[in-house]
Structure 1
Amino acid sequence: MLNYLQLSSIANNYEAKVYPVFMLAIVGEFLLRLKTVSYMRTSETIFNLISGLLLILIRSLMLKLFSTCCQWLNTNYVLVNLTESTAQSSLIGYYSMIICTFIMVDFLFYWCHRAGHEINVFWATHQFHHSGEDYNLSVASRTLATEANYVLLAFATVWLSVLIPGPTLIHVLEFIIVYQFTLHTSLWKSYGWLDLVMIAPGDHSVHHGSNEYCLDRNYGSVLSVWDRWFGTYVRERPDEPVVYGLVHKPPVTYDFTRQSVYYFGLIYEKFSTNYPGQPTSLSNKWHSLFNKPSWSMPYIDNNNIDQVDMDDKIKQHNFEFNKLYNLNYRMHWYMYLYITVHLLMISMDIFMVLNGRESMNIKLIMVKYLWTYLFLTSIGAILDNKTYAPIIELARLLIYYYYPMNNYYQLSIEQIYN
C-alpha cells in the first residue's frame, strides 16, 4: 500500500502548475482580440484572473483532504488491490484501468455538474461562474472553489478509491479540471470529427448561453456522449448567436463577496416569504431549495420576476461597456499598469508556494488566500469606482507589508529555498 507521503508526492497539483501557462494564454487571447469586435474587457479579465488565484489556493487544500481520504479508504476498505494486480499485468491492463477510471469520473462529473444547475441551492454556488457576460479563457478562472458541483464530484469520486488507487483518481480528476480551461474560448469552436464524442469549445459556449435553447444544456466535461444519451446536448444555432450571462439580473458590481453570495439572499427570500391569502407550505420551502432555479410558487406571477430582457440584452451584447455592468468610466492606463504589476507580484508569490516545499503548509496557504482576497476586494472597489477604494487599497498595502503575520510569510518563503 502507498503511505501518505508517497501519495502526496504522486498526487501533483497539476492545476497550480498549469495556471501560469494558462495566464499567459489569456494574455495571448487578449492581444489577439484587441482589434476585433469581440475584444476582452480589461476590467473583467483582471477580476477573473484574481478569482482564479483564490480558486487554486483553496483547491490545493481540497486536494490534500481528498488525498488523505483516498489513502484512508484504500487502506481500510479496499475491495480489489489494483495497485498490485496491475503491477503484475501488462501495460495494456494498466492503461485499461486509467481509461475505465476516466469514464467513471467523467460520468460522475456530468451528473454533479447537472445537479449544480438544476438544484437551486447548488446553483447558488455555481452562478458566479456563469455571471460573466464575455466568453473567453479568463472565464474558466471565474469559479468558486466551493462550488457544489465540484464538492459533489470530490465526494462521489473519493469512494472509488476502494477499487482504484488514489493517485490514479487524482490524475484523472486533475486532467478533467485542466481540460475545462481549454473550453472557455470562442477563438475555435470545433475539434472536427472528435466532436462526436468530445465536448468542444463551441458546445460549452452554448452551456454558458442565456438564450432559451441554451438553458440546462451541454453539462459534459470531456465526453459529449452523456449529454447525447440523456437528452441535454444541443449545437449552437447559426441563426441565433449565443448571449452569455445569467437569465436573472446579477448585482452591478465587481465586489467578489457580493457576487459570490447574493443568490443565497434570493433563495432565502423565496424560502421565507408568506404571501397573503396563500397557505404556508413545507412543500414550497422544499422546492425553493431543491427544485430548479426557475421554479416559483404556483400562485406567483412569473411576469413580475426581475429578469433580464433578452431583446434588450442582445442589443447590449456588443462587447462595449454595457449597461448591465454599468462601466461608464475608463480607468487611466497607469491604474491598469498598477493593478497588473501587483497581480504579477501576488501570482508569482502564490506559484512559488504551491509548487515548492510549502505546498502542503495549510497556515501559509490560508495567509496567501487572505492576502489575495483582500487584493481582490480592493481591486473590485477600484473597478467599481468607489470613493472608498483608495482607503481599502492603502489598508491592503499596509497590512501586506507591515502586518506581523508577514514575518511568518517571509520565514516560510526562506524555508522553500533552504
Structure 2
Amino acid sequence: MTIPEMPELIHYAIPFFVITVIIEAILTVKVKLDNYEFKDAYTSILMGLGNVFIGLFTKGVILTIFLLLYKYRFFTIPFSWWAWVILLFAEDFVYYWNHRIAHESRLFWASHVVHHSSQKYNLSTALRQTWTGSFYTFIFWLPLIIIGFHPVMVMVQMSISLLYQYWIHTELIQKMPNWFEAIFNTPSHHRVHHATNPQYLDRNHAGIFIIWDKIFGTFEPEVEKPIYGLVKNINTYNPIKIAFIEWYHMLSDVFKSKTSVRKRLLYFFKPPGWKHDGTGILSDDLRAEWEKKK
C-alpha cells in the first residue's frame, strides 16, 4: 500500500475544513456566541491557503533533507503497526517541545505568532498558519529520522497531528468526558493555550496528548473565560503584515538596539517581550503579578 505524503493529506482535508467552518458559523449564530467575524475568518482562511501553497515547495525540500539524513540512521524501523504506535507518541513528544520553544524563543515565535494573532477562537482560527515556519522548524523532527523512522512515516504523522488539532479550535464544545480530558488535548485545554489571561500564558502546548504538559509542568486547566489574541495585539486583517510583522520587529531590535553584538543576538533566542535593558515584560512576569493578586 502506498502511503501518501503529508501535503496530500492536508489537500484531501481542505473540503472538510470549509464545510466544518460553515457549519460552526451557522451553529454559532444559533447559540449566539460572539466568536465569528467575517474579516477575521477570511484572513485566517487566506493564511491557511498561503501555508498550503508554500508547503508545496517546503514539504519537498523537507522530505529531501529527511531522506538524506535517513541514510545515517541508527536503526531501520519497519512500517509495522507497533512502529506507528511508537511514532504516534514520539512525534507528539517532539511536537510538544517544538511548540513550547516556539513560545520561549523569539526566533520561533516570529513564525508561530501568526497562529495566535486572531482575537477570535473558532475553527477558522485553526487555519491561520505560518508562512515562514516550515522553512526551519522541521529541525525538531530530525532526531526521529536519525533514530530510524522512515521520512514518509514521520511526515504522515506530522500531518495527522495537524489534522487532529483542527477540531479543538472551537468554543462549541465545552468539555469532553473526564478520561478524555485527562489524556488528550481538547477544546478546553487549547482555549487556555490561545488565551492572554496571565495564568494561561504559555500553557498547554500539547498536540494530541495533554500528558506532556502535565509531566513537564506547563498544564493549566480552563477556569475563567479565556481572552484570546496576543498580549499586544497586531490589530490588522492584512495577511502580509500578520505573516511578517514579528520578523520585522525582531530584526529591528537586533540591528537597531544600542547595545553589544552579543545582547543583540539574544533577541533571537530570548522569549518574546525580552529587552536587553530590562524594560521588557515577559509572560512569566505577568503570571507572577497575577499570582500576587490572587
Shorter-normalised TM range:
0.7 to 0.9
Q: Which amino acid aligns with 2:9?
A: Y
Q: Structure 2, unaligned stretches of length 5 or more? A: 282-294
Distance 1:69 1:202, change over 3 A: same
Sort the Cα spacing of 1:27 and 1:222 in 2 relative to 1 into closer, same or farther, 3 A.
same
Once the 2 structures are TM-superposed, how far is the Cα of residue 27 of structure 1 from its aligned partner? Answer: 0.4
Is residue 146 from structure 1 mapped to residue 127 from structure 2 by the alignment?
no
Distance 2:256 2:228 in 1: 31
- Deviations 1:186-216 (CA, angstroms, capped at 9, x unpaired): 1113321111111111111110001101111
The 8 Å contact of residues 189 and 203 in structure 1, kept in 2 or not, is answered as no
Q: CA deviation at 1:44?
A: 1.2
Equivalent residue for 2:123?
137
Counterparts of 1:248-263 in structure 2, within 5 Å, are 248-250=232-234, 252-263=235-246
Following the alignment from structure 1 to structure 2, what is the Cα–Cα distance between the partners of residues 78 and 142? 34
How far does residue 137 in structure 1 lie from its aligned partner after superposition?
0.2
Tell whether the 8 Å contact from 1:11 to 1:67 is kept in structure 2 after alignment: no
User: Is 2:187 the counterpart of 1:187?
Assistant: no
Amino acid aligned to 1:300 = T
Aligned to 1:294: 273
Instruction: Give 1:220's match in structure 2, choosing from 203, 206, 219.
Output: 206
Counterpart CA distance in 1 for 2:156 and 2:280 is 48
Alignment of 1:267-282 (within 5 A): 267-274=250-257, 280-282=259-261
* CA-to-aligned-CA distance 1:306-333 (integer Å, 9 cap, x gap): xxxxxxxxxxxxxxxxxxxxxxxxxxxx
C-alpha deviation, 1:54, in angstroms: 1.3
Mark the CA change 1:103 to 1:113 in structure 2 (over 3 Å): closer, same or farther.
Answer: same
Which of 112, 120, 131 lines up with 1:126 in the alignment?
A: 112
Report the counterpart of residue 26 of structure 1 in structure 2. 21
Corresponding residue SS for 2:190: helix
Q: Is 1:11 aligned to residue 25 of structure 2? A: no
Q: CA deviation at 1:15?
A: 1.0
After the TM superposition, which residues 95-244 of structure 1 pair with which residues of structure 2 at under 5 Å, given as runs?
Answer: 95-147=81-133, 151-152=136-137, 154-162=138-146, 163-192=148-177, 193-237=179-223, 240-244=224-228
Q: Contact (CA 8 Å) 2:35, 2:122: kept in 1 or not?
A: no
- Partner of 1:24, secondary structure, is helix
CA displacement, residues 358-404 of structure 1 (integer Å, 9 cap, x when unaligned): xxxxxxxxxxxxxxxxxxxxxxxxxxxxxxxxxxxxxxxxxxxxxxx
The 2-side partners of 1:212 and 1:95 are apart by 42
> Match for 2:172: what amino acid?
L
The Cα offsets for residues 326-347 of structure 1, whole Å up to 9 and x where unpaired, read as xxxxxxxxxxxxxxxxxxxxxx
Task: Give, in whole Å, the separation in 1 of the partners of 2:156 and 2:114.
Answer: 27
Please state how far the C-alpha of 1:287 moved relative to its aligned partner.
2.7
1:165 is displaced (CA, Å) by 2.2
Q: Distance in 2 between matches of 1:221 and 1:128?
A: 17
Instruction: Extract unaligned runs of 5+ from structure 1.
Output: 1-5, 87-93, 303-418
Which stretch of the first structure deviates more once superposed, 120-129 or 163-172? 163-172
TM-score, normalised with respect to structure 2: 0.86
CA distance in 2, matches of 1:11, 1:272: 40
Q: Distance in 1 between matches of 2:37 and 2:76?
A: 51
Change (3 A) 1:38 1:73: same
In the alignment, the residues of structure 2 paired with residue 159 and residue 293 of structure 1 have an alpha-carbon distance, to the nearest angstrom, of: 26
Match of 2:72 in 1: 77
Aligned counterpart for 1:65 among listed residues 61, 83, 97:
61
Amino acid at match of 2:5: A
Q: Give the paired residue count.
A: 278
% identity of equivalent residues: 25
Query: Among 42, 46, 53, which residue is 1:46 paired with?
Result: 42
Instruction: Report the 3-state secondary structure (helix = DSSP H, G, I; strand = E; otherwise coil) of the residue aligned with 1:82.
Output: coil
Q: Equivalents in 1 of 2:125, 2:274: separation in Å?
A: 27
- Matches of 1:77 and 1:265 in 2, distance apart? 37
Q: Distance in 2 between matches of 1:146 and 1:248?
A: 21
Q: Give the stretch that moved more between structures: 60-69 or 216-225.
A: 60-69
Q: Distance in 1 between matches of 2:191 and 2:42?
A: 21
Q: Give, in angstroms, the shift of residue 264 of structure 1.
A: 2.4
Structure-1 separation of matches of 2:26 and 2:159: 28
Shift of 1:174: 1.2
User: How many angstroms apart in 2 are the aligned matches of 1:285 and 1:37?
Assistant: 44
Q: 1:287 to 1:139 in 2, by over 3 A?
A: same
Q: What is the alpha-carbon distance in structure 2 between the residues aligned to residue 24 and residue 100 of structure 1? A: 32
- Which structure is larger by alpha-carbon Rg, 1 or 2? 1
- Conservation of the 8 A alpha-carbon contact between 1:220 and 1:226: yes
Kept after mapping to 2: 8 A contact 1:66/1:158: no
The more displaced of 35-44 and 192-201 is 35-44
Deviation at 1:70, TM superposition (A): 3.4
Matching residue's letter, 1:141: L
Structure 2 CA distance for partners of 1:140 and 1:299, relative to 1, 3 Å: closer
Q: In the TM superposition, what is the alpha-carbon distance from 1:167 to its structure 2 partner?
A: 2.6
Task: Tell whether the 8 Å contact from 2:46 to 2:239 is kept in structure 1 after alignment.
Answer: no
Contact 2:273–2:280 (8 Å) recurs in 1: no
CA contact (8 A) 1:69 1:158 kept: no
What is the alpha-carbon root mean square deviation over aligned residues?
2.4
